[in-house]
Chains A and B, each alone.
Chain A
Amino acid sequence: MLIRIFAVLGLCLPMQAQAQAKVSNFMLDNGMQVVVVEDHRAPVVVHMVWYKVGAADEAPGKSGIAHFLEHLMFKKTKNLASGELSDTVAANGGSDNAFTNQDYTAYYQRVAADRLELMMSMESDRMTGLQLSVDDIATERDVVIEERNQRTESSPGALFNEQKQAAMYMNHAYGVPVIGWMHELKKLNFEDAVAFYKLHYAPNNAILVVAGDVTPEQVKILAEQYYGVIPANPAVQSRARTQEPPHRSARRMTYHDERVAQPYVSRSYLAPERDSGYQTTAAALVYLAEILGGSGATSVLGKELQFDTQQAIYTSAYYGGTALDNTTFGLIAVPVPGVSLQQVEDAMDAAIAKFMATGINLETFERIKMQMRASEIYAMDNVEGIANRYGAALTQGLTIADVQEWPRILQEVTPDEVMVAARLVFDQKASVTGWLMGPQEELK
């Protein structure tokens, strides 16, 4: 229940059940895909462009360039002065921002519905019209360094996760942090940014998502006018990333930091992601995470460790199913004072072993199924959230049909499929176990 503290663990529960909102889609002649999500309750629209490029597409040695470029996209363009896009959005009462992850980079504005054309005119302008100057680089790189200071260097939990992710992926770029390693971030330059921009920013590598008080007909006219006129870039390549070799050896790590007040154990396993046309295993893993660690009071880990033996303050299981390449399935256990990390890890393993032997409580299973169905209804209250799901899915290897099938697939998962998925994912050889701990001398 008191989950505030554990937000620092960096977990976001991927409850991916989708609302069946009214969704249309079409393709522009230059290869830009367009998705329209209708919600006419309020005169608001969210306008987003998602690029199929993220941190995992960076060249070796250039970590952080995808995110750095995202910052630089707010500088001068062919038709806009530096900062003018955000100023204009604000002057129209809207808000705007952008975000980068391993698989995508996205830009969005939230405005009154009758401002949509203005948003398109500006967003389409910076798709290929960015005019970076060398002067932009040093100051904005300092901003990004401060962002890394704030998000990562100041947080022992974030540093721990970064180390753990690096241990998880032996050959795939998911092991490199999105914000970049500090030593590489400090060296990113003008040429790096321009090269990355020219290679990846093009209509045939982008998805337009418009959600809110609009019709597909309105969007089509505007999209053709503003985005449709930008030529496709034939140099855009499909993403071919280095993949993981077979994992043959379980990895263990400890991270000591004098700023840690509450130690914990975190274990992750390499896990399959949602694949286009085949999402059953991923759906089963969503259930597995809920069954093992979804609720502090009724999940397997919660019941065993927080209630029965009272060895843990908090437990959790998580699975982020939407990714282009192999993702992770994770377990967390935070011990009560007086219980060691070894003890709480042993208790966690014992609880999982018992679960594997005895199987799923069917009442629990039905409750989770009900919650998945309900979450589709609740999700319809937030059209921006639905827009995000389409943008994320379409830049991470899924199709619109996959997104729309997902709620049905979630409702059709069986307990047997969950156990099959559990046996698949709980492979010690493909795991990393991390202990986050206080200063070393205190352990003696």
Chain B
Amino acid sequence: MIRILSTFVILWAGAAQAEVQIKTPTSPGGIAAWVVEEPSIPFTALEIMFSGGAALDPRDKRGAAYLMTGLLEEGSGDMDAQAFAAAQEALAASFGFDVYDDTVTISVRFLTENRAESLALLKTVLTQPRFDPEAIERVRTQVLSILASDAQDPDSVAGATWSQLAFGQHAYGTPREGTAASVAALTREDIIAAHQRLFTRDSLSVSAVGDISAAELGPMLDDLLGQLPAGEGLKTAAVEFATEGGLTVVDMPTPQSVALFGHVGIDRDHPDFFAAFVLNTILGGRGVESRLSAEVREKRGLTYGVSTFLVGKEEANMLMGQVASANDRIGEAIAVIRDEWTKMARDGVTQAELNDAQTYLTGAYPLRFDGNAKIANILVGMQRQGLSTDYINTRNDKINAVTLGEINRVAAELLQPEALHFIVVGQPKGLNEE
């Protein structure tokens, strides 16, 4: 059987190609979009992404973008919150609004039979939001409840502590939800300002996948987005990643400690990015097959999950990881992770590990494209990153081009054991804060 399997693996030569035909129409009004016409199911997934997110909150208005986003389905045009919800439910359309540090996204889904009415309803959110005082107070109370719960949640506390340590006074250094004090102080004017700041023509990326043609989409986008303000090209402020190596313990009464760790990462546009991407896959990016998982989980049973990931923000890049272990075992888990970090920086990876990771990554890539909503999401992200539609066909070549010499040079440069900082939330035993 093992021999039979090897035969299968050898047969696995070229990875399957993602089969998506992307059209790139520009609307009569000048809005560029990427479209995949997929008429087999009578609905469309529409993704709209605006560059510029919660990090554009003015310093004393932290949480404005988050609260504003939470209010978008709470009334617009001549509808209050309940009338808006009733209209949306009657159409069975869904609008998902999310705000991140550097972007705001709208994930829309509508039936072909309700296409025009659904987009007309969404347009009221973008052009005529009400921000009724009663709705503001209702959603503000919800946000304050979330903040209170986050303060008791080990994962949230670890994340907030990390951000504060890494970015200090920069917007990245505080939660995008704001603080209890900043949220309490937000006014209706602050919320209106956030809406005007974020929903602008100059920061827009759009993709549509489903039962819609490129020709139909253009006029619809003009109607939906044409009235947005041009925008002033606002950008997230530059910031220095400020953390040094070490350990920070936050005391919380919980039987299992949560640890978040990392150091500076690598830019998406850096020539070594793909080598770093493959390296992270081998280190901790690939679930139970990664080195860290083998050492911490499979061999020692110290955790249910350990992973690492590259974080790419507009103004900062990090290589980070997370692990959770019982309070009396987290110390050992951290020691193993530090050790593996050191080993990989010093000795690099093997040719076999590189080959395995390349086969995995190139094989997994086309599997991402198996649903309208998934494809729309990928396409809008590609536009924001400035990639061309051809990237889908060349991305695997970039993965396969990474050589052993290159990845091991990058391992030595990127992995910095002495710079690795751990945040531990819980009541760890036998860990000494530095």
Contacts and interface: CB of A to CB of B under 8 A. Distances in A.
Interface of A: 1-2, 4-5, 8, 41-44, 74, 78-81, 83-84, 86-88, 90-95, 110-115, 117-118, 121-122, 125, 138-147, 149-150, 153-154, 212, 258-262, 295-298, 303, 306-307, 310, 313-314, 334, 336-337, 363, 366-368, 370-371, 373-375, 377-378, 380-383
Interface stretch (B226-234, B243-251, B339-347, B359-367): B359-367
B41 A146 contact: no
Nearest to A212: B370
Contacts of B92: 370-371, 373-375
State which size class the interface on B falls in. Answer: 35 or more
A367 B114 CA distance: 14
25 contacts: A4-B146, A42-B18, A42-B371, A80-B1, A83-B298, A90-B360, A92-B359, A93-B362, A93-B367, A94-B367, A112-B363, A115-B12, A121-B1, A121-B4, A143-B301, A146-B303, A150-B305, A150-B324, A297-B82, A297-B84, A363-B86, A367-B90, A371-B89, A378-B43, A382-B371
B185 interface: no
B2 A298 contact: no
B82 A149 contact: no
B118 to A, nearest CB: 11
Contact of A259 (B15, B152, B300): B152
A6 to B, nearest CB: 9
Lowest 7 CB-CB distances: which A-B pairs, in order? A93-B363, A79-B1, A142-B301, A374-B92, A297-B85, A149-B256, A42-B370
B304 A143 contact: yes
Given A307-B82, A310-B138, A381 B152 contact: no
A377 B43 contact: yes
Given A121-B4, A377-B43, 13 more contacts: A1-B73, A2-B70, A41-B38, A81-B2, A93-B364, A94-B363, A112-B367, A125-B1, A143-B301, A153-B254, A307-B81, A368-B89, A374-B111
Contact of B363 (A92, A125, A140): A92
Nearest to A138: B301
Contacts of B364: 93-95
Contact of A146 (B16, B86, B324, B359): B324
B149 interface: yes
Given A2-B142, A92-B12, A154-B255, A43 B19 contact: yes
B5 A118 contact: yes
Nearest to A139: B301
B238 interface: no
Interface in B139-198: 139, 141-146, 148-149, 151-152, 154
Nearest to A87: B289
A146 B301 contact: yes
B358 to A, nearest CB: 10
A41 B86 contact: no
A274 to B, nearest CB: 23
A76 to B, nearest CB: 11
Contacts of A303: 82
A149 B255 contact: yes
A228 B214 CA distance: 48
Nearest to B252: A259
A296 B138 CA distance: 12
Nearest to A3: B142
Contact of B289 (A90, A111, A147): A90
A92 B45 CA distance: 29
Contact of B304 (A146, A296, A366): A146
B254 to A, nearest CB: 5
B197 to A, nearest CB: 21
A381 B1 contact: no
A93 B8 CA distance: 13
A366 B370 CA distance: 32
B270 interface: no
Contacts of A88: 5, 8-9
Contact of A8 (B144, B149, B151, B301): B149
B90 A370 contact: yes
Nearest to A117: B8
A368 B1 CA distance: 52
A261 B148 contact: yes
B63 to A, nearest CB: 12
B16 A114 contact: yes
A146 B298 contact: no
Contacts of B152: 259-261
A108 B4 CA distance: 21
Interface in B351-393: 356, 359-367, 369-373
B89 A42 contact: no
B19 A314 contact: no
A118 to B, nearest CB: 5
A213 to B, nearest CB: 9
B109 interface: yes
A79 B369 CA distance: 33
Contacts of B324: 146, 149-150, 154
A298 B5 contact: no
Interface in B299-334: 299-305, 324-326, 329
Contacts of A295: 85, 89
Contacts of B255: 149, 153-154
A83 to B, nearest CB: 7
Contact of B298 (A139, A147, A334): A139
Contacts of B299: 139
Given A118-B5, A303-B82, A377-B43, A146 B288 contact: no
A79 B2 contact: yes
B42 interface: yes
B74 interface: yes
A146 B325 contact: yes
Contact of B254 (A1, A2, A79, A154): A154
A41 B40 contact: yes
Contact of A336 (B15, B141, B365, B366): B141
A11 to B, nearest CB: 15
Nearest to A88: B5
Contact of A42 (B5, B19, B253): B19
A195 to B, nearest CB: 22
B168 to A, nearest CB: 26
B23 interface: no
Contact of B366 (A112, A150, A310): A112
A121 B5 contact: yes
B40 A298 contact: no
A91 B359 contact: yes
B297 interface: yes
